[in-house]
Structure 1
Amino acid sequence: MPVKTLPVKRRAVRRAPARADRPFKGIALILLSTVFLGTSDITAKFLSTSLPSIEIAWIRFLVFALIMVPAMVPGTPIYALRSTRPGFQLLRGAALLGSSLFFITGLRYLPIAEASATGFVSPLFVTALSIIFLSEKVGIRRWLATAVGLFGVLVILRPGTGAFHAAAFFPIVSAFCWATTLIMTRMMSGREHATTTMIYSSIAGVAILTAMVPFVWVTPSLNAILLGLLIGVASTAGQWIVVLAFRYADASVLAPFSYTQLLWVSILGFLIFGEVPDLWTVVGAAFIVGSGLYTAHRERVRRSQLLTAAGESSPNA
């Protein structure tokens, strides 16, 4: 008697949307994202005068997690909780939390333009970490660009002078955590859906901060709660718009336009806090931005060379 086989029901796997080469749309989205992210940073600085950094970050990640809840419910069209590497996703979420928490802490003591400019040193850390974790080869020109960016940080911080503030290390550590987040994202590239990554980031952030926040809790006013909600919505929207932007253009194309966030936070910092970036901050920021732009250029050249080499080695070439 022949064995009757039952049909196997395959699980639907959410795949990332196909890339579309529409750089102008990607640039428009990245510019829009800086408005949301800049608004989140400004609001966090305003709120840091009345609430501890841990509590501000907790509200931010709580709102983030609540926004992601629909994608955590099995059976829904946008369900994306299933992951092939949940532990690695949670570790990435912890790195993202570190970036947010250290930056908010720095905002409490530093002018926002200075903190933001220093925070943009993350591409330099990405260059160094990519050698260790991605086995990438970094040429002398990219190392020189990294050195220029580090010089820009020193110009802003001016260690050894009366202008130096120990809190300046917070945005640097934040930038390192963000670079770690980017490296881990690259390591999972093509294996996990962007929504899945965002879900686990929100879960990791809420879980860790919920354990920490009772030790620093300050009962927020209604106004503080509303501002906290604004931070959570603005930062989540900004990050999601960034994800959308990368569907239409390469990182090397979009990176230069992300620096417009410095312009937004400088304008808002002046209008809300009366902060005017000093000459050293402007000069240092110019070095950091120049370094980042050149690094993005070299990344575009390297990608073009790799694609050319792949085309030449193809049997159909």
Structure 2
Amino acid sequence: MFMVGAGAFVAATSVVAKALSLEGGDAAGLSPFQISAGRFAFALVALVLVLKAFPNARPAFSGVHWNWHLFRSLSGWLGVTCMFAAVAHMPIAEATAISFLSPLVAMALAALLLGEAIGTRKMLAAGLAILGAMLILRPGTDAFQLAGLWALSAAMFMGIETIFIKKLSDAEPALRILVINNAIGAAIAIAAASFVWVWPSVLQWLLLMALGTIMVSGQALFIQSMKRGEASLVMPAFYTLLVFAAVYDFIFNQVIPVPAAIIGAALIVSGAMILAANHK
């Protein structure tokens, strides 16, 4: 249930990011870099307020694995920024489905860095997921979406981030992980956004605040889920994110997935679940 809740919150961030990227009234749409900066900065503000309200919950900072945190935060910022760029130009559910290729990245890294074997089952999972991505992107046709390349990039960086999240969740307290991640992420994101900064409207400021709060809530649920259960058990529940993304996209943007996208998403999720089952 923690992971299902994380899926609901993370899907909601894509809806908010899409709204921020669109022009409305006298306000221009914000850059993915600026949206990402708002996501990290206001998530950090939300955490600071929680720590002020509950001083006994303040984490200690001895024994911090700073190198893990740095790589996790950098890959997380890149993944989030690429995802926000993707949802700005394509249906949220389709971008979300492509981002589920991240387990393939983790599998490839495990093979390259840890010497894990890639057997028949993993090859089948990879084949299904890649076929699903091709159905969604439809390269070589008029339906090809260049924005899908941003979603593919997001999948790559999220796959890298997942490895560090698991390492950190096994070694450090959840609240400390959240505080350090969002502090480092905010520093990186704000520095990058300074080159494309435009002053947000009042509504955009409110949406940026909501984005940070929603994301940190999803992060907290995700980390709690990873701490309480094996990845092979809890990660399949995270794929409910795709259902939430499709529902939100229909409610807020009146987008109905085309049949090819539905089939492609099903293939990607099937491949990801085979990979998760392979680690039981």
**Above 0.5 in TM-score?**
yes
Q: Deviations over 1:117-159 (max 9, x none)?
A: 1111111111111112333233221122112111111111011
Q: 1:264 to 1:185 in 2, by over 3 A?
A: closer
Report what 1:45 is aligned to. 18
- Larger helix percent: 2
String of CA shifts for 1:39-86, please: whole Å, max 9, x gaps: 11111111111211111111110012223337989x954223334431
- How far apart are the structure 2 equivalents of 1:61 and 1:268? 22
Pairwise CA RMSD of aligned residues?
1.9
1:185 is aligned to 165
Aligned to 1:261: 241
Work out whether residues 71 and 81 of structure 1, in 8 Å CA contact, stay in contact via their aligned partners in 2. Answer: no
Which structure's CA Rg is the greater one? Answer: 1
Partner of 1:68: 47
- Rounded to whole Å, the distance in 2 between the matches of 1:110 and 1:286 is 18
1:94–1:201 Cα contact (<8 Å) kept = no
Q: Which AA in structure 1 matches 2:2? A: L
Q: Given that residues 169 and 227 in structure 2 are in contact (C-alpha distance below 8 angstroms), is that contact kept between their aligned partners in structure 1? A: no
**Separation in 2, partners of 1:228, 1:36:** 15
Give 5+ residue unaligned stretches, structure 1. 1-27, 301-317
Which structure 2 residues correspond to residues 1-317 of structure 1 after superposition, within 5 A? Answer: 28-49=1-22, 50-69=29-48, 77-188=57-168, 190-300=170-280
User: Percent of counterpart pairs with the same letter?
Assistant: 28
1:151-207 alpha-carbon deviations (Å, 9 max, x no partner): 111111011111112111111111110110112234446333333322222122111
Letter in 2 for 1:102: C
Distance change >3 Å, CA 261–CA 186, structure 1 → 2: closer
Number of equivalences: 272
Q: Is the 8 A contact 2:166 2:226 kept in 1?
A: no
Task: Say which is worse superposed, 204-213 or 146-155, in terms of deviation.
Answer: 204-213
Alpha-carbon distance in 2 for matches of 1:81, 1:56: 29
CA 1:93–1:72 in 2, change beyond 3 Å: closer, same or farther? farther
Q: Secondary structure at the match of 2:59?
A: coil
Alpha-carbon contact 1:134-1:187 (below 8 Å) kept? no
Q: Output one character per residue of 1:93-136: Cα deviation in whole Å (capped at 9) or x when no partner.
A: 11110110000011111111110111111111111111123332
Q: Deviations over 1:215-266 (max 9, x none)?
A: 2111111111111111111111011011122233222112222111111111
Q: Which runs of 5+ in 2 are unaligned?
A: 23-28
Cα 1:299–1:216 shift into 2, 3 Å = same
Decide whether aligned partners of structure 1 residues 134 and 195 sit closer, same or farther in structure 2, where only a CA change above 3 A counts: farther
Residues 130 and 183 of structure 1 are in contact (CA less than 8 Å); yes or no, is this contact kept in structure 2? no
SS at match of 1:261: helix
Q: Which deviates more, 263-272 or 242-251?
A: 242-251
1:230 partner letter: A
TM-score (ref. length: structure 1): 0.80
